[in-house]
Amino acid sequence: MILAGGLGKRLRPLTDANPKPLVEVAGKPILTWQIEWLKKYGVNEMLFCVGYLKEKIIEHVGGGNRHGLKAGYVVEEEPLGTGGALKNTEAFLKGEEKFLVLNGDIITNLNPMRLMEEVDNFVGAIALVPLRSPFGIVDVDDKGFAKRFREKPLIPEYWVNAGIYCFTPRIFGYLPDKGEIEYTTFPRLSEEGKLRALKYDDAFWSPIDTHKDIEETERVLRSYKK
């Protein structure tokens, strides 16, 4: 299930006429990157939670045939937050043994099947990636001399939520009608020991929140093609 209903305010004016998941990065909409990535891992049924400019996403994906998948849609008539949006899909997903959920603004190559393998004894499993410094880092020796400059390195001591999850249907008993899953559901699951966390230390992962994110992601993707 792809959460694709956000407004994408920080990407304006690109999101004035298109929803955030259809913003192009390196020549393709974010949503196309996601569909191609998931299909590589055998995912061929996708449910899109849409809201803002929903008709654009429905037009882009359609029934899914042109992308080689089966597509369905759940519409948010008003913003419900990630937790409310997921709860809105209960009628469609409560019969599944387990299912993937991801934010519609991520480009990555991490293996989501690892989450599927780990979730069975839990309510959910969450993908974590190393924190990347937003700034360049200066290493200083014990005498106060600058020894090395590192441009926005990964900081492996800290891990961030990658916005990619796997849940069992038990998740619906933990979701708010409206609100963010990160602030409502995850704290409760973690307190109860029902949320598995998997670290991905060797994957490419980039959230597309700002114009700068687009530029930096395009630079990395171009380097992969060389």
Q: Catalytic site residues?
A: 152
DSSP annotation string for 185-196: HHHHHHHTT-EE
- The total number of residues shown for the chain amounts to 226
Alpha-carbon distance of 171 to 155, in angstroms, equals 31
DSSP lists the bridge partners of residue 129 as 160
CA–CA dist 163, 207 (Å, integer) = 9
Q: Which of 37, 50, 116, 117 is nearest to 77 (CA)?
A: 50
CB 69 within 8 A of CB 39: yes
Query: Which H or E run contains 149?
Result: strand 146-150
- Which strand (E) or helix (H) includes residue 182? helix 181-191
CA angle 215, 133, 129 (to 5 degrees): 90
Exposure string of 147-180, with b = 16+ CB inside 10 Å and e = fewer, is eeeeeeeeeeeebebbbbbbbbeebbebbbeebe
